[in-house]
Amino acid sequence: MKQVRSQQGEILTKPFLDLCKMILPVLDKFGTSLSPVKSDVGGNINRLSIVYESNPTKFNFLHSVVQPEIEAKTAKSSSSCTNALLWLTRAMDFLIAVFQNMLDHPEWGMSQVCSSAYSKTLKKWHNWLASSSFMVVMKLAPDRKKFVEVIGRGNEDLNIQMKEFCTRFSPFLRENHKFLVRK
């Protein structure tokens, strides 16, 4: 995992977004069941990347990307980078919960893994229709054994890598939540 923090301990924009991008191919392996999540994650990464790329020095730190919106009181706009960071963080929480469920419950099928992760993370932020739709889509989750074969491809250390990703990436998400709640 790349260095995501500066020497001062702040989350660096590009490495954080690059890590999030690394999840997109994993989401592809879920097939259509997680295509809405992949679309949201990709769109939010893109929105944040555009602002970062407009001035990499000014927006070197992740939270500096949303600071101008907070100051201009436009952070709550649905097209804001603040909203993108919020939903990117929530989606990554969901994916961490998926990986953690896979580690903690080897007997669960992927539908149960994903449904449980959804209930713990995203469900509280969705209205009834979105929540119902998501739960129906979770029924389309791939067979667990096939999914593990596809994402693992001969990698015997898959569980170790998932655990490491969950352990090392979760603190960034917690920090994002704390920052966003304060703003």
Output the pLDDT for position 129. Answer: 85
Q: What is the pLDDT along the chain (183 residues), one digit of tens a residue?
A: 569 999 999 999 999 999 999 999 988 888 777 788 889 999 999 999 999 999 999 999 999 999 999 999 999 898 999 999 999 999 999 999 999 999 999 999 999 999 999 999 999 998 888 888 877 877 778 888 888 888 877 667 889 999 999 999 999 999 999 999 986
Output the pLDDT for position 151. Answer: 85
Among candidate residues 154, 46, 37, 33, the one with its CA nearest the CA of residue 94: 37
CATH of domain 13-182: 1.10.3520.10
Is the distance from CB of 62 to CB of 163 less than 8 angstroms?
no
Sign of the alpha-carbon torsion through 99, 117, 121, 22: positive
To 5 degrees, how large is the angle CA 155–CA 156–CA 162?
80
Instruction: In whole angstroms, give the CA distance from residue 63 to residue 176.
Output: 8
- 108: its two tokens: 């669960």
The Cα-based distances of 75 to 16, 24, 63, 181 in angstroms read 20, 26, 12, 12
pTM of the model: 0.90
- 168: its two tokens: 């090392």
Output the pLDDT for position 2. Answer: 64
Output the pLDDT for position 11. Answer: 97
Domain boundaries, the chain: 13-182
